[in-house]
Amino acid sequence: MRMRLLITGGAGFIGANLVRIAAADPTVTDIRVLDDLSTGSRANLAGLDVELREASILDETRLSRAMTGRDVVVHLAAMSSVPGSIQEPVAAHSANATGTLCVLEAARREGVRHVVLASSSSVYGANPELPKSELTWTSALSPYAAGKLATEAYASAYQACYGLPTLAFRFFNVYGPGQRHDHTYAAVIPRFVHAALRNEPVVVYGDGQQTRDFTYVDTVCEVILDAVRRHVHHPLPVNLAYGTRTDLHAVLAELELILGRPVARRYAPARVGDILHSEADNKLLRQLFPQVEAVPLGDGLAATVAWHEAQLPLRAQLVPPSERQVQPVVG
């Protein structure tokens, strides 16, 4: 079956990668993006066959128009930063909780057949259980996590009350090309890669033994597209990560292998609110998406390094890795 897709937040990191992968899929007829460009950008979609509409999901009229004639919606738009949500809780609630409700309501009104939504592993919060199963308890420790719990709750309510097929994914730590290192609260992998490529020490908060379930962005997009193609819906949210818990020292060791030189570290105090360990139980994911194979960390990191390298000024690119100045490992 051929389909017309709407991706909210499609000019952001995961969204733009999803547009790139969906554009190469013969079952997807055309792709429209609705994005207010608050953290995303037009440049992320350069050269891709996509219609970009610049508006907020909170603008009812423009949301409705963007939804018209769409078969499937992938809802990624959100205020995507945990610390940002702590600074501005009401804005985070509007974008993440009210915004999701607006998207689901517009989808119902416009007769959309399927809605896939982005939730987050942050909903597990203070729950220490490892790996995290979807059946275990949640505990929001930030307005961001509270908004994602609301996202999941509205997805399930629309399925139960209106028969709208929905699927909410709990993304864990997604990384890959296109992820920005220069946001105030940038994720760890783009910060590490950017600093290492510039021969600057990477900043490690805490002792570096904290672990994350890193998932390469193409893997995330392949799962989303598989859900879209096969119309997969589920009453429960589904973890989207592969149970590959990796500590920051192991990430840096992979990075050193790729760069062929040591990477200097600077240790800083652990950040308030940072959890120590994160790992997904992925039984439900594997049951629903048995075909998708996760890209291993080494391969994903190599592609991420190549992308960051291509963003560097030309002079820096001209210095081959073997001739770059080797920094001593500190800390």
Ligand X SMILES: NC(=O)c1ccc[n+]([C@@H]2O[C@H](COP(=O)([O-])OP(=O)(O)OC[C@H]3O[C@@H](n4cnc5c(N)ncnc54)[C@H](O)[C@@H]3O)[C@@H](O)[C@H]2O)c1
Nearer to ligand X, 9 or 195 (CB): 9
Stretch that binds ligand X, among 4-12, 101-109, 297-305, 312-320 (CB under 6 A): 4-12
Of 8-16, 156-164, 197-205, 221-229, the window that binds ligand X (rule: CB under 6 A) is 8-16
d(CA 28, CA 66): 17
Order of all β-strands in the sheet with 211-216: 173-175, 211-216, 245-247
Per-residue binding letters, 144-183, with ligand X (x by CB under 6 A): ---------------------------x-xx---------
Considering only 3, 22, 45, 78, the residue that binds ligand X (CB under 6 A) is: 78
Distance CA 331, CA 323 (A): 24
Q: How far is CA 292 from CA 5, 171, 174, in A?
A: 21, 15, 16
Residue partners of 243: CB distance under 8 A and separation at least 6: 131, 213, 279, 280, 281, 282
* Binding-residue pattern over the window 38 to 77 for ligand X, x denoting contact by CB under 6 A: xxx---------------xxx-----------------xx
User: Does residue 11 interact with ligand X by CB under 6 A?
Assistant: yes
Cβ neighbours of 128 (radius 10 Å): 10
The residue type found at 11 is A
Is-contact 305 255, C-beta < 8 A? yes
Nearest CB to ligand X, comparing residues 21 and 264: 21
Burial group, residue 67, by CB count within 10 angstroms (0-12, 13-18, 19+) = buried
Q: Is 95 in the site for ligand X (CB under 6 A)?
A: yes
Which CB, 185 or 267, lies closer to ligand X? Answer: 185
Strands 114-120 and 28-35: unpaired
Q: What does the per-residue mask of binding to ligand X show for 22-41, with x meaning CB under 6 A?
A: ------------xxxxxxx-
> Out of 9, 84, 176, 177, which residue is the one contacting ligand X (CB under 6 A)?
9
Q: Which of 153, 91, 128, 87 is nearest to 278 (CA)?
A: 128
Give the number of other Cβ atoms within 10 Å of residue 252's Cβ.
Answer: 20
CB 73 → ligand X: shortest distance, Å? 13
Q: Where are the alpha helices (DSSP H) in 38-163?
A: 60-67, 82-87, 89-93, 99-109, 143-162
Site string for ligand X, 101-120 (x = CB under 6 A): -----------------x-x
| Shortest separation between residue 42's beta carbon and ligand X, angstroms | 10
- Asked whether position 19 contacts ligand X by CB under 6 A, the answer is no
# binding residues, ligand X (CB under 6 A): 29
Give me the least distance between CB of 69 and ligand X, in Å please. 19
Residues of the shown chain interacting with ligand X in the complex, contacts defined by CB under 6 A: 8-9, 11-15, 34-40, 56-58, 76-80, 95, 99, 118, 120, 171, 173-174
